[in-house]
Amino acid sequence: MNLISSNASDAPARQILLVDDDILLHKLLEEYLCQHDYHIDALQCGEEISEFLQHQQPDFILLDIMMPGKDGLHWLRWLKKYHEHIPVMLLSAKKSAQERLQGLEFGADDYLTKPFHPKELLIRIRNIMRDRPLANGRVIHKIGSSFFDPVHEHLERDNTTIKLTTQESGLLQFFCQNPGQILTRDAISLALYGNDYQPMNRSIDMTINRLRKKLDDNATTPRYLCTVWRKGYRLTLDS
């Protein structure tokens, strides 16, 4: 197996398998996507997929259609039969509508025509993976234009990583688990502090104010973390 993988010593949260015989594309995507908290493993032909999946479970697969041996459509059908939980995006230099429709009929989650801009690929991957469990059981939450990783305790927005404190991350995760619901200060305090919380503790309000700034949320007219007068707070995922 000819396997190319990133050299990061601490593997990022999201694992992507790229199956394409274009070595230059391997290097381009590995360099670009690793800057955005993705770990890339790359194979040069579909025949290596089965062996790879016996040892690792990626969160996402980028699959070229035109490869030596059996083409990407064959391997797409195989993946959807034996590993249907893994989202797959097809890559192709062809602009044939028939090929694109066939790939979508076979279960592809998306289809991108070469050449493409790496940022477009990144956006498409994020849109497919938002609020989808990762291979290790984690979930990335999309809040407006931000992506929240509760395990690594950070937000990602406009190609920038914004660190959160443990309290900020815990609070935001509680809101993400209850989107659109009004959460009282007591309920929030119990979730964060358990029986040790103090009803008059104002740290919740201060944490929410910090989160609003990090979410690019206007403190006067917030779009995401809204105050519901005399009731509590509510998280809206889309502005």
Co-location of 124 and 218 in the same domain: no
Domain that holds residue 11: 4-129
Within-domain flag for 51: yes
Within-domain flag for 185: yes
Co-location of 160 and 124 in the same domain: no
Within-domain flag for 31: yes
Co-location of 51 and 28 in the same domain: yes
Co-location of 92 and 197 in the same domain: no
Co-location of 166 and 221 in the same domain: yes
Within-domain flag for 148: yes
And the tokens for 40? Answer: 């890339």
Rounded to 5 degrees, φ, ψ at 166 are -60, -40
Which helix (H) or strand (E) covers residue 63, if one does? strand 60-64
121: domain CATH number? 3.40.50.2300
Q: Torsion angle of alpha carbons 179, 184, 190, 193, nearest 10°? A: 90
Q: Which of 74, 98, 129 is the last residue of a domain?
A: 129
Within-domain flag for 134: no
Sign of CA dihedral 53, 58, 59, 65: negative
Within-domain flag for 136: no
And the tokens for 209? Answer: 């104010």
Helix ranges, 43-152 (H): 49-55, 72-82, 97-105, 118-129
175: domain CATH number? 1.10.10.10
What is the pLDDT at residue 11? Answer: 37
Q: Which of 108, 129, 150 is the last residue of a domain?
A: 129
In the chain, how many H helices and how many E strands?
8, 12
Taking the complete model, does pTM exceed 0.75, yes or no? no
What is the pLDDT at residue 197? Answer: 58
Co-location of 181 and 231 in the same domain: yes
Q: Which of 67, 99, 129 is the last residue of a domain?
A: 129
| Strands of the sheet with 160-163, listed across from one edge | 141-143, 146-149, 154-157, 160-163
Co-location of 23 and 101 in the same domain: yes
Mean pLDDT in consecutive groups of 10 residues from the start of the chain, 239 residues: 39 77 92 88 91 85 91 91 88 82 88 92 87 64 84 80 90 90 87 66 83 86 90 84
Number of domains in the chain: 2
What is the pLDDT at residue 121? Answer: 94
Co-location of 28 and 109 in the same domain: yes
Co-location of 85 and 167 in the same domain: no
